[in-house]
Amino acid sequence: MRSRTRLCWLDEIADPGSRGFSVVIAGRTESILLVRKGGAVFAYHNRCPHTGSPLDWMPDQFLNLGKDHIQCATHAALFRIEDGLCVAGPCTGDALTALPVAVDKGEIVLGTKGGASG
Domain that holds residue 90: 2-117
Our count of domains for the chain comes to 1
Q: Give the CATH number, domain containing residue 90.
A: 2.102.10.10
Q: Are 104 and 118 in contact (CB under 8 A)?
A: no
Q: What angle do CA 54, 90, 49 make, to 5 degrees?
A: 40
Local confidence pLDDT in tens for the 118 residues of the chain: 357 899 999 999 999 999 999 999 889 999 999 999 988 999 999 999 999 999 998 999 999 999 999 999 999 999 999 999 999 999 999 999 999 999 999 999 998 443 333 3
Q: What angle do CA 28, 43, 118 make, to 5 degrees?
A: 40
Task: Name the percent of the chain in helix, strand, coil, to the closest 5.
Answer: 5, 55, 45
